[in-house]
């Protein structure tokens, strides 16, 4: 499916199913609304699935992997070879997020959308657009055409996962240097100073952080991204992994699937998807507030509340796995708890 097809015809959530879900929550023996965001999330998923009987049995984590040319500017502790190493480890189940995903029965789907190295590994979905982006401090990261192709990879993957029976998609990414591209995107899209939105990423000292900030400032100055044209911004200072995730949010919404944000990087992708098609927000669920400086800014701009605040900033989808584990527990409460009539306890009054 092409980008222009994906952004039309996204359906609103089913109000009837959400009302029935809210009534089911209110009938459970507990103080009203006492499970907070988890109650709201499950009710929203009922609206997405058009059924109060929410099901999240088959679920996956899509990890978009791509390299960033701006690494040449010394914006990371390690070089691009680490992207390839972690991508390999995602296929053999040895990364942190794989351990988490296995514990809560989530299929991990790593995607090579732009790794610098040519990898032919079983279990790594090859959707490569190019061998990493260009160095945005010297030229645009991608052409507009390459950017749209990367978005369409995500759109079509989300639609295919729906056909395979998946009921929720979590988002993750792997790409050395991608907090630099994400910070550049956040600075332009949120109209904030580079210093406000740029953090230490996977671990930088003061000098490294200064190099990162200066590289972003140079990229914005040279490329002059148009904040009113999000594709232009994404192509000039973004990354292939981020573009792929934009497509996951668009395609997931088109398919009627809940899409779980991870942290700052997937949050920036969600913001771009929202700017392309505001209806996508209906299908977004925020997992946690990243420890990266702009993590909160992005969620605030989207009007989404995190389910978890734990100072996490690992990426790869780890925050999404923690939140999904919490959603699982609350879904058990929703499905299996007794009601007031069975308990012999008087219902709580709905006070204004």
Q: Which residues are catalytic?
A: 316
Query: Which ranges of 174-317 does DSSP label H, i.e. alpha helix?
Result: 178-190, 194-197, 206-223, 230-237, 240-255, 264-276, 295-302
Q: Which long-range contacts (CB under 8 A, 24 or more apart) does 300-306 make?
A: 301/189, 301/190, 301/271, 302/267, 302/270, 302/271, 302/274, 304/261, 305/37, 306/37
137 in Cβ contact with 219 (< 8 Å): yes
Closest CA to 216 of 178, 246, 245: 178
Closest CA to 316 of 81, 87, 84: 87
**Sign (positive/negative) of CA torsion 201, 59, 301, 134?**
positive
- Which tokens belong to 153? 């990879």
Q: Which helix (H) or strand (E) holds 100?
A: helix 96-103
**Sign (positive/negative) of CA torsion 56, 284, 196, 289?**
negative
44 in Cβ contact with 146 (< 8 Å): no
Query: Which ranges of 28-78 does DSSP label H, i.e. alpha helix?
Result: 36-49
288 in Cβ contact with 322 (< 8 Å): yes
Give, as one character, the DSSP assignment of residue 136.
T
Q: Give the Å distances, CA to CA, from 316 to 3, 26, 135, 257, 351.
A: 25, 36, 23, 20, 42
Distance, in Å, from the CA atom of 131 to the CA atom of 160, rounded to the nearest integer, reads: 24
């Amino acid at each position: 499916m092409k980008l222009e097809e994906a952004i039309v015809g996204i359906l609103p959530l089913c109000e009837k199913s959400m009302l029935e879900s809210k009534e089911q929550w209110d009938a459970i023996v507990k103080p009203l609304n006492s499970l907070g965001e988890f109650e709201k999330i499950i009710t929203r998923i009922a609206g997405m699935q058009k059924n109060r009987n929410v099901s999240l049995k088959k679920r996956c984590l899509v990890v978009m992997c791509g390299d960033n040319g701006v690494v040449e500017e010394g914006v990371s502790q390690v070089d691009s070879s680490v992207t390839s190493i972690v991508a390999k480890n995602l296929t053999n189940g040895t990364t942190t997020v794989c351990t988490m995903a296995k514990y809560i029965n989530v299929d991990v789907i790593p995607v090579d959308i732009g790794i610098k190295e040519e990898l032919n590994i079983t279990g790594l979905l090859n959707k490569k657009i190019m061998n990493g982006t260009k160095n945005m401090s010297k030229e645009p990261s991608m052409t507009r055409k390459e950017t749209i192709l990367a978005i369409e990879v995500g759109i079509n993957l989300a639609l295919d996962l729906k056909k395979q029976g998946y009921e929720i998609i979590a988002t993750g990414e792997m790409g050395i240097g991608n907090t630099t591209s994400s910070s550049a995107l956040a600075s332009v899209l949120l109209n904030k100073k580079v210093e406000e939105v740029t953090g230490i990423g996977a671990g930088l000292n003061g000098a490294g952080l200064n190099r990162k900030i200066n590289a972003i400032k140079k990229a914005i100055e040279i490329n002059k991204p148009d904040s009113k044209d999000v594709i232009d911004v994404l192509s000039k200072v973004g990354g292939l992994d981020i573009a792929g995730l934009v497509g996951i949010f668009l395609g997931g919404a088109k398919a009627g699937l809940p899409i779980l944000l991870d942290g700052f990087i997937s949050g920036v992708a969600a913001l771009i998807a929202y700017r392309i098609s505001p209806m996508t927000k209906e299908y977004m669920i925020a997992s946690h507030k990243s420890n990266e400086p702009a993590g909160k800014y992005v969620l605030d701009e989207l009007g989404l509340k995190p389910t978890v605040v734990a100072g996490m900033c690992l990426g790869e989808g780890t925050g999404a796995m923690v939140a999904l584990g919490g959603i699982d527990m609350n879904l058990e409460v929703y499905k299996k708890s007794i009601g007031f009539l069975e308990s012999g306890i008087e219902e709580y009054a709905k006070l204004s």
